[in-house]
Structure 1
Amino acid sequence: MTTPLTETKARIAAAAQLSRRKPDDVTLIAVSKTHPVDAIRPLLDAGHRVFGENRVQEAAEKWDVLRREYDGVELHLVGQLQSKKADDAVAVFDMIHSLDRESLVKALGKAMAKAERTVPCFVQVNIGDEDQKGGCAIADLPALLAMARDEGVPVAGLMCLPPQGIEPAPFFALLAKLAQDHGLDALSMGMSADFETAVTLGATHVRVGTALFGARD
C-alpha cells in the first residue's frame, strides 16, 4: 500500500539516483511541528524515526510521551532558537538546524559544556540575502564557523531556506559550494515543494512536513 511516507521515500530515491547518489545518503526529517501525537504515531509505527520540530517546549511535551513508546527516535530542531532556550534545546534535540549568530554559538557552547552533551549543528545561511529571514550572512560565515570551533559547538554542515517564488536550484547549488569551500559534508536543504531538486544538488537532510502530514490548520 502506498502511503505519504513510502511515496516521499520513493521520490527521494529517484532524485538520488538521478544524481548518482545512494538513497541512504539522504536523511528524511519528518517535520511534525504543530501536529499532535496521534498524527505522528503512524509514521513511527511504519518504522520512521527522524522527526523535526520548531519549538522547544512543544517538542519536549510531545516527544516525552512518544520517546517512552518508541525506541531510537532522532529529533531535529528545524525552527529558530532563542539563546535563552539553549539549555532546553541541548537536552531535547539530537541536531539543531538554525545556528545563525554569535550569541547563539556562545549560548550553545555553554549549554553543551554544562550538560556534557554535544549536539551537532547546521549553520543556517541567509542564502537569498533576505532581510525578513534568519540566517548568517554569507560574508559572516567564516567567522561564525571559527567561533563555533572555539566554543566547542560541532558544526555538521549548512542549512538554508531559499527565497519563495524563485527557482531554488541556484540557491541550493550555492549552499553546496559554500559547504565544500569550508570542508563541511552535510547539507540541510529542501522541503515539501522542492526536496527533489535539493537532493539532486547534494542535500543530505531534507525537511518534509506537508507531503507527509498534509497541510497544517
Structure 2
Amino acid sequence: MAPVPPALADVRTRLARAAALAGRRPGAVTLIAVSKTQPAGAIEPLLAAGQRAFGENRVQEATAKWPALRDRYPDVALHLIGQLQSNKADEAVALADAIHSVDRPSLVAALARAMDRAGRRPACFVQVNIGEEAQKGGCALADLPALIAQARAASLPLAGLMCLPPAGLKPAPYFALLAKLARDHGLTGLSMGMSDDYDTAVMLGATHVRIGSALFGVREEPTA
C-alpha cells in the first residue's frame, strides 16, 4: 500500500480521537472522501493509501470519472451526496452504492422503479432540511414521517438520515436533532459532518462524515 497522504492521515487521526472521546469504536464512522470536481490524479493517492468510500455530487461527473478508477479499485464504495433529479434515478442506481439525498416523494418513486428495473438496491439516506432553510434541499421536518413511511412502503433500503446544518451557526444542536429524529424513526445511520465540523458530528453519533476540503484542499471556483 502506498504512503498515506498527510491530509488523509490527519483526518483519520482526528476521527479516531473523536470516536474515542465519545466511547465509540474508530471503525464505527465511515469516512467519505468528497471527490466532486476533483480529477483522477487527485483521487488516486487516496485510493492507493486504502481510502475506499468517495462522494460525488453529480451523476454525470461521476459516470465520466469513476468507471476507469473502479477498474483498478473494484472495492470502491461510491456515495451520491448532491441533490438528485428524478430523471437521473436509473443512472444513480446503476452507479452508486449509497444515495444521501432522498428528499421528496417523486424521487422515492423514481428510485423504487429504478431499483426494481436494475435489481440493485443502493443504501438510501433521507436528507432533512434540518435548519428549515428555504434555499436548501432536504425534506421539511413536518414531512419527514410521511416520506420515511413512503420509502419503507416502496422497499427502499433506508440506511438513515442526512443533513447540512445552517452555515455560520454552531452545528451541534442540528446534529443532535438529526440523531433524535433517526432514533424516533428506528434508523441508525447518520450522514452528518463535513471538513469544519466532523469532530462534533462524530461526538453526536455520525456514522458517515463527508470530507472534501480537509482532504483535497479548497478548490478555486472557475472564473467566468
2:23 is the counterpart of 1:15: no
Q: Secondary structure at the match of 2:137?
A: coil
The alpha carbon displacement at 1:152 in A equals 1.6
Matches within 5 A, 1:24-173: 24-173=27-176
**1:176-210 per-position Cα deviation (integer Å, ceiling 9, x unaligned):** 00000000000000000000000000000000000
Asked if structure 1 preserves the Cα contact closer than 8 Å seen for 2:5 and 2:46, the reply is no
The alpha carbon displacement at 1:69 in A equals 1.2
Q: Secondary structure at the match of 1:28?
A: strand
Asked if structure 1 preserves the Cα contact closer than 8 Å seen for 2:104 and 2:139, the reply is yes
- State the Cα RMSD in Å: 0.8
The alpha carbon displacement at 1:2 in A equals 6.4
- Counterpart residue identity of residue 154, structure 1: P
The alpha carbon displacement at 1:103 in A equals 0.3
**1:14-42 per-position Cα deviation (integer Å, ceiling 9, x unaligned):** 01111101110000000000000000000
2:202 is the counterpart of 1:199: yes
Moved more, 1-10 or 14-23: 1-10
Distance 1:68 1:155 in 2: 28
Q: Secondary structure at the match of 1:207?
A: strand
Distance 2:139 2:219 in 1: 28
Q: Taking structure 2 as the reference length, what is the TM-score of the superposition?
A: 0.96
Distance 1:58 1:158 in 2: 24
Matched positions, count: 217
2:217 is the counterpart of 1:182: no
Distance 2:162 2:74 in 1: 27
Distance 2:130 2:149 in 1: 19
Moved more, 67-76 or 29-38: 67-76
Distance 1:149 1:200 in 2: 29
The percent of aligned pairs where both chains have the same amino acid is: 65
Distance 1:158 1:127 in 2: 10
Distance 1:119 1:150 in 2: 16
Q: Secondary structure at the match of 1:153?
A: coil
Distance 2:24 2:201 in 1: 12
Asked if structure 1 preserves the Cα contact closer than 8 Å seen for 2:5 and 2:45, the reply is no
Query: What runs of 5+ residues in structure 1 fail to find an aligned partner?
Result: none
Structure 1: which 4+ aligned runs deviate by more than 3 Å? none
Could you tell me which of 197, 211, 221 is aligned with 1:208? Answer: 211
- Counterpart residue identity of residue 76, structure 1: H
The alpha carbon displacement at 1:151 in A equals 1.2
Query: What runs of 5+ residues in structure 2 fail to find an aligned partner?
Result: none
Distance 1:2 1:204 in 2: 23
Q: Secondary structure at the match of 1:79?
A: coil
